Amino acid sequence: MPVIRRTAAAAAAAVALFATATACGPQDDKVAAPGSSAAADHRGGGEAGADAGGSGLPSGLPTSLDDVKKWQKGGWKDWDQWAREASEFVNPVIKDLWNPSRMAEARDTPDVTTQNAGDAGGSDPEPRPVQARQVARPYHQHMAPIGKIMFDSPQGPMVCSGTVVEDPAHPGESNLVWTAGHCVHTGRSGGWMRNIVFVPSYNDEGLPMSQVGRAPAQEVAPYGVWWANWATTSGEWIDMGSTKSGNAGSAYDFAVLHVQPEGGGGKSLQETVGAALPVWFGAPSPDRVSGLQAFGYPAAPPYDGARMMNCPARPGRLTMAQGTPTMYRIGCTMTGGTSGGGWFTNYGGRTYLVSNSSIGSLNHTWLAGPHLGVEAKRVFMGISQKFA
């Protein structure tokens, strides 16, 4: 298991690419070396985060200081006017909304499963399940960039997972978090989630969930609560995605948040936690990767969301629909709540994020995540440049 401490991002040799000079090295014109792929406009994307004063917001969303105050006092609970479009995202900070008690109560998950995976062809046989295992504690000493994402939906508070990733516009000072598209937007049938926050190294000592609600805030959120003040996902996810079952949109089920600390402060998220993962766009296809590890906070039974888990596995290929990018698929018993959690592999002595948990099987024996190609990099660079 890779150990990513506050002071360094040490890669583990156990997670390595199956690479040869002719197969998937940096000189291969079909596989981009980390940080080398060029983004190209594919289509209108899902960048969000319009200023609160924007005139394009639907009626009922905060467009003035008075509106923001009403929103913070409970106006956000009105879902009749649900912001859907990329420019309609709003997420005003509500101080102390996500206290340890409410965090512990947020156990529902957007558990996106599928029954017809691979029917489009181009998929490998279903993998054998890999039993998830607990990550060493305290988390801030082992996997500091990983944390829990919490948000409100029309069905109530929900949870996902996320990873602090490097920002090329702000080396060493990133405020970017990688997660799944369905953790921030419901796709074709709805709109943006609300009160989206990221809590790095959530429940640092892995307390039982029965104790989390009564634990000191410092133990539950050792680096504080970070509110998303900007969000971006793919246009394909907004147009096609579903939080009910996997479909063609699952191949584009990724998102990036730009966050700020609830209490303010001068340090960036990366400086605060001490580490961030680079994203490898255009990484090798699943059949050319010998191993990776998926991390997250599974919250659906038999788990309860209290502990960080991971699955080490060799990925296979999964195609959800003809014409869509082939996804990574691994055997793994992690459940809902894992969504958005990073998938890591090692190349050249560094650990890279190459995917995120998107969908799983009905009986929770495998997980699948998108291959991060041109569209993913376009989405990522859009939010990076926004705050450059």
In a domain, 7, yes or no: no
CATH number of the structural domain spanning residue 381: 2.40.10.10
Whether 222 is in a domain gets the answer yes
Range of the domain at 241: 90-387
Is it the case that residue 375 has pLDDT exceeding 70?
yes
Q: Using an 8 Å Cβ cutoff, are 255 and 233 in contact?
A: yes
Residue 213 lies in a domain: yes
Structural domain tally of the chain? 1
Q: Starting at the edge strand that comes first in sequence, how are the strands of the sheet with 350-356 ordered? A: 133-134, 309-313, 292-296, 342-347, 350-356
Answer yes or no: is 9 within a domain.
no
Tell me: pLDDT of 189 over 60.
Answer: yes
Provide φ and ψ at 385, rounded to 5°. -70, -25
pLDDT, tens digit (0-9, with 9 covering 90-100), for 10-30: 333 333 333 222 233 333 334
In a domain, 18, yes or no: no
Task: Give me the pLDDT at residue 311, please.
Answer: 98
Asked if the structure places residue 15 within a domain, the reply is no
Answer yes or no: is 337 within a domain: yes
Using pLDDT thresholds of 50, 70 and 90, give the confidence band for residue 335: very high
Given this model, what pLDDT does residue 46 score? 62
Q: CA nearest 228: which of 12, 13, 387?
A: 387
Look at residue 14 and tell me if it is in a domain. no
Q: Which of 153-157, 159-163, 165-169, 330-334 has the lowest mean pLDDT?
A: 153-157
* Amino acid of residue 308: M
